[in-house]
Structure 1
């Protein structure tokens, strides 16, 4: 897969630096998480793709047929395309470490890539994901994971987050979970935990 498979922002890592991939939420774009990335992983190289699906003008990474109802064929397409895109950038840059951070729809595509490519990332932060299906995980997960969620999130219900945690733990993931008492918003406690979690080993 080409490094140009998605419109994206690229800030090269350089020798010995970590490379952080950013995945925006529905209606965001490749700039949405740049400030957040600077807070949680300063000095890292950045690759931030823009979703290639438009839902009534809102950028997404894969199609859905309703709220919380995914087009599973398109999710499979998007997962394969994104995995190839990430691999192409890693091969070109040869970073010291490969990290991922995704929010909402971006967390969903990041999680889906990890289900299939279980050791592509060294560590990943999955913020407010919604996985309304039982994932077929390709093998033991070698990626360290931080999952963040709101206990009253109307978009990503806590019961589905708990179910995802069970799936990931069953796949052997080294998993941390950070809850806050709110909804779908990203809170400072999440950013503080993500910064600690993403410190290069």
Structure 2
């Protein structure tokens, strides 16, 4: 599966993070930054994103922390405790990557959706809190809060979709705390639960598609 997807976009190493760019000829101008989960690589969310938005430009990014035979976004101490210095260092670097990628590939960040799964979703939530103004729209699959110290950030212009898995016994119990955290900072939250575990699938794609239609209508 990964080999088949990888033929669509060559791996690029010209910015701070390795990434693949998928830009269809009939692109709508919307774009998705894709942040994978732990222990895999940048290709794992491409099929899901294509199911959500077939004509969007995709920027599939690879985390820089090596884990076994895959990658992650920042170091962890236990499955639910994370290295705070690593979170901040990698979040700062990713903020720079987003700005550089937008400039290099002529991306309109006002039309960007940040789609993250698990560890990738946690990087996105950290990015919103540590670099306000960069993200306007984010879809977080199976996330949890990871920052110990959160700055006084204004997220009143940010729309966030969060999808937890009903049988995700390790991470779903932390999702309400992230809803509360982002809401207290002003973000508009749509929190959903799907009948699955930590894995993602077509049910997530359908929810994200529906949410994006609502976001577009609200923006219009």
Report the TM-score, using the length of structure 2 for normalisation.
Answer: 0.82
Q: Which of 45, 55, 59 is the aligned partner of 2:67?
A: 55
Alignment partner, residue 81 of structure 1: 93
Per-residue deviation, 1:28: 1.7
CA contact (8 A) 1:149 1:180 kept: yes
Number of residues of Structure 1 aligned to a counterpart in Structure 2: 199
Unaligned runs of at least 5 residues, structure 2: 1-12
Looking at structure 2, the residues matched to 157 and 7 of structure 1 have their Cα atoms a distance apart, in angstroms, of 30
Does 1:146 pair with 2:158? Answer: no
Question: Cα deviation per residue 1:64-89 (whole Å; 9 max; x = unaligned)?
Answer: 12221211101110000111101111
Looking at structure 1, the residues matched to 55 and 123 of structure 2 have their Cα atoms a distance apart, in angstroms, of 24
Q: Which of 8, 27, 32 is the aligned partner of 2:44?
A: 32
Per-residue deviation, 1:111: 1.0
Looking at structure 1, the residues matched to 28 and 194 of structure 2 have their Cα atoms a distance apart, in angstroms, of 34
SS for the counterpart of 1:198 is: helix
> More relative contact order in 1 or in 2 (CA 8 Å, sep 6+)?
1
Question: Cα deviation per residue 1:131-177 (whole Å; 9 max; x = unaligned)?
Answer: 2445514522122110000133123132x111111111111111101
User: Structure 1 residues 132-141 or 46-55, which shifts more?
Assistant: 132-141
CA contact (8 A) 2:19 2:62 kept: yes
SS for the counterpart of 1:175 is: strand
Alignment of 1:97-108 (within 5 A): 97-108=111-122
Looking at structure 2, the residues matched to 50 and 147 of structure 1 have their Cα atoms a distance apart, in angstroms, of 22
Question: Cα deviation per residue 1:66-117 (whole Å; 9 max; x = unaligned)?
Answer: 2212111011100001111011112231426121100011111111111122
Alignment partner, residue 116 of structure 1: 130
Alignment partner, residue 10 of structure 2: none
Report the TM-score, using the length of structure 1 for normalisation.
Answer: 0.89
Looking at structure 1, the residues matched to 83 and 63 of structure 2 have their Cα atoms a distance apart, in angstroms, of 15
**Cα RMSD after superposing both structures:** 2.2
SS for the counterpart of 1:33 is: helix
Alignment partner, residue 188 of structure 1: 202
CA contact (8 A) 1:147 1:176 kept: yes
